[in-house]
Amino acid sequence: MPTFNYIARSAAGKRVDGTLDAADRNNAMLMLQQMECTPLSLNQAGEVPSKHASLKTRFKFNLSTGHTARMKPRAMLLFSREMADLLASGMTLGRALHTLARRDSESTYKAIVSRLRDEVVQGSALSDALRIYPDTFPQLYVSMVRAGEASGALADALTGLCIHYERVQQARGKVVQAMIYPAIVLAVGVLSVVGLMIFIVPKFSTIFDELGGAMPLPTRILMGISNGLIDYGWLILLILFGAGVAFRQYLRTADGQKWLDGQQLKMPVVSKIARANAFAHFARTLETLIRNGVPILKALTISEETVGNSVIAAEIADARARVTDGSSIAGPLAAGGVFPELLTDMLAVGEETGDLPGALSQIARRYDEELDFSIKILTTVMEPVLILGVALIIGFVAISMLMAVFDLTSGLGV
């Protein structure tokens, strides 16, 4: 049975060390808890010292998997909420992580929490351990946790993160929900038109050919489109699929993302949604970081990385380059012309009154309301436009068929 060397703190607050014989590290942790000791360090006999062992296991982990595991956003939010509650109740960090690691939960969640627990038990700070999983815990999360550790208010920092990410998910959910109905209308319309062209129009075409006579121009255009879809539909699908894949790959590049973000800021209605979402996210992120003691330049850097629009992020980077510690951020942000006057004026007032987090909270609330209003306008406009577009296409098909029928019947003297 393996032997573990431990350093722990007793219930009386004294440091104790010794050895334990246990089947594995988890059992050793349980034995320490039964002894009413809080583990500070726990290493198997013969292992490399904790810091080097942590780096070694981290290197092996990345080498063997090729990428780090990733929690789902809801799982990350649940982890943050439960950690905040456990720490607020007085539980130590190591014990809280061990409690969550023992839960009967999804395998990826359990593996990540177990790894975080082991890193913390070996002496790493939680903020350093979180950096192992950048896909789950972004820079904003790590910086907030580090600020909470420095101030001794880790539970409050985690609670602030929960509130922040819940608001972000709500904003994203509003945009996605607004696009569901228009997407359904568009999909049904396209399928209806394709079905008419492939299955209905060819039957009329056969009848018209048997009756003979010249068909009107709209009918000939419709027949040509129908024959093209039947004969070259597979090629059209292949071209569209290839173009879609190529366009998607282009959008994943820096130039493609910059182009897309720039177009979003120029399109009617859509630009209002993109701007309101980006400004609300910027204000909320900056407020959360400043309220938890993150320096202003670091907070601007993180806000730049998380704002979600490369054009606005570039403007934040330019403003950050003009900001020095202790100086105003409202002026540099206003100089670029991307941020609206309302936002920079409210920032300036917050700086003058010494309540910058409060001003940022008000800005986030203001642009959340604008986001809701813009989404309602978009859905109100898109629904009739899409329905009208589908109706015009189907109407063109019906009129083209009727024109041919009227011409042929009139030629027959019917």
Name which of 143, 124, 121, 122 is nearest 134 in CA terms. Answer: 143
* Cα distance between residue 337 and residue 181, in whole Å: 35
**Residue 303 falls within a domain, yes or no?**
yes
* Cα distance between residue 175 and residue 31, in whole Å: 50
Contact 40, 8 (CB under 8 A): yes
Could you tell me the residue range of the domain that residue 334 belongs to?
A: 181-414
Q: What percent of the chain has pLDDT over 90?
A: 6
| 3-state SS class at 297 | helix
**Residue 344 falls within a domain, yes or no?**
yes
Total domain count, the chain: 2
**Residue 357 falls within a domain, yes or no?**
yes
**Residue 126 falls within a domain, yes or no?**
no
146-159 residue pLDDT tens? 878 877 788 888 88
Please indicate whether residue 216 or residue 96 has the higher confidence score (pLDDT).
Answer: 96
Contact 35, 23 (CB under 8 A): no
- Tell me, what's the pLDDT at 243? 93
In the chain, DSSP finds a helix count (H) and a strand count (E) of 17, 3
- Tell me, what's the pLDDT at 239? 94
DSSP 169-196: HHHHHHHHHHHHHHHHHHHHHHHHHHHI
315-347 residue pLDDT tens? 888 888 877 655 678 888 888 778 888 888 998
Q: What region does 9 belong to: left with phi over 0, alpha with psi -120 to 50, or beta?
A: beta
- Tell me, what's the pLDDT at 213? 63
Same domain, 241 and 390: yes
* Cα distance between residue 244 and residue 250, in whole Å: 10
Q: In what order do the strands lie in the sheet with 38-44?
A: 15-21, 3-9, 38-44
* Cα distance between residue 49 and residue 45, in whole Å: 10
pLDDT reading at 383 higher than 80: no
Judge residue 144's burial from the number of C-beta atoms within 10 Å of its C-beta, 0-12 exposed, 13-18 middle, 19 or more buried: buried
Please indicate whether residue 306 or residue 286 has the higher confidence score (pLDDT).
Answer: 286
**Residue 148 falls within a domain, yes or no?**
no
- Tell me, what's the pLDDT at 247? 92
Q: Say which residue the tokens 């395998």 belong to.
A: 107
**Residue 54 falls within a domain, yes or no?**
no
Domain boundary at 16, 31, 47, which?
Answer: 47
pLDDT reading at 280 higher than 80: yes
- Can you give the CATH number for the domain in which 406 is found? 1.20.81.30
Strands (E), 173-313: none
**Residue 314 falls within a domain, yes or no?**
yes
Q: What region does 16 belong to: left with phi over 0, alpha with psi -120 to 50, or beta?
A: beta
Q: What is the pTM of this model?
A: 0.61
Long-range CB pairs of 109-113 (<8 Å, 24+ gap) are: 109/71, 109/75, 109/79, 111/69, 112/69, 112/71, 112/136, 113/79
pLDDT band for position 414 (cuts 50, 70, 90): very low
**Token pair listed for 196:** 């008419």
221-261 residue pLDDT tens? 888 888 888 888 889 889 999 999 999 999 888 888 889 88
**Residue 334 falls within a domain, yes or no?**
yes
pLDDT reading at 413 higher than 70: no
